[in-house]
Amino acid sequence: MTKGPSIRFEDVRFHYADAAMSFEAMVTGGAITAIIGPSGAGKSTLLNLVAGFERPDSGRVVVGDMDVTDLAPAERPVSMVFQDNNLFTHLEVEQNLLLGYEPARRREQTTGIAIREALERVGLAGYRKRMPGSLSGGERQRVALARALVRDRPVLLMDEPFAALGPGLRTEMIALIRTLQREKDITLLVVTHQPEDARRMADEILFIRAGAIAGQGRSPEFLDRADIVGLAGYLGQKGT
């Protein structure tokens, strides 16, 4: 299986309202990178620049060997799981997963098999005909993850996927995501407000502060570093 691609931010500049952001970094391919930082620092913006929902004012976003800076979201080798799951409440689970496919592939025989297998992998076998409104928050999150699996893209972005989950479900989802990421060897970027989630899940951590990448390193050692400006303060430690 091909290893997930690296992601490069090459002198990326982006302005949003009065906020000026500048990103320069290399995200390791085939790894889980957690993105942490204060609210409003630019974490979700970084994901949106990879997904194509935002375009930089200057600089390049490169996925593997592909310059995706000017590509539409659908043209990028990327899937995204949003905080609110982004499920269509009037469609059954199976129909929501079908939206992960290009229109021409939705009637293929193998598509139904892939959907059943994806639901089994996330622990939702037999949920194909269920409506999103009948599911718990954790189950809806698993449906969104299954939809990303059927898209089968080498890069997966997750924007605070555990925000609405309790401690027990958070632990289950972290274990599930780690397992699936290892099986598929994809590149996974996940935004989280919980440093402990980053410690448990990530291979690497990227810290964003005031619209810029203030530090990056291996997890969990990165969270103990004293040389990253603003990191200890973000973590609530003294002496910052």
pLDDT value for 240: 37
Average pLDDT, rounded, for the chain: 87
24: left (phi over 0), alpha (psi -120 to 50) or beta: beta
Cα–Cα distance, 162 to 23 (Å, whole number):
25
Bridge partners (DSSP) listed for residue 9: 25, 61
- Quote the CA–CA distance of 39 and 27 in Å, as a whole number: 21
**Residue ranges covered by each domain of the chain:** 1-77+154-240, 85-152
Does the pLDDT value for residue 151 go beyond 70? yes
Averaged pLDDT, 147-162: 87
Q: What is the pLDDT of residues 87-97, one digit of tens each?
A: 888 989 988 88
pTM for this structure? 0.86
pLDDT at 186 (0 to 100): 93
For residues 35-42, average pLDDT: 93
1-77+154-240 under CATH 3.40.50.300, yes or no? yes
pLDDT at 190 over 50: yes
What mean pLDDT is predicted for residues 51-66? 96
The pLDDT assigned to 149 comes to 84
Return the structure tokens found at 105: 């592939």
Task: Give the best-scoring range by mean pLDDT among 108-117, 137-146, 166-175, 187-196.
Answer: 187-196
Q: State yes or no: pLDDT of 160 exceeds 80.
A: yes
In whole angstroms, how far apart are CA 54 and each of 17, 43, 118, 168? Answer: 13, 13, 29, 34
pLDDT above 70 covers a percentage of the chain that reads 92
Q: For residue 106, what pLDDT is reported?
A: 57
Please tell me the predicted confidence (pLDDT) of residue 237. 57
Question: Is residue 226 predicted with pLDDT exceeding 60?
Answer: yes
What's the pLDDT at 103?
60
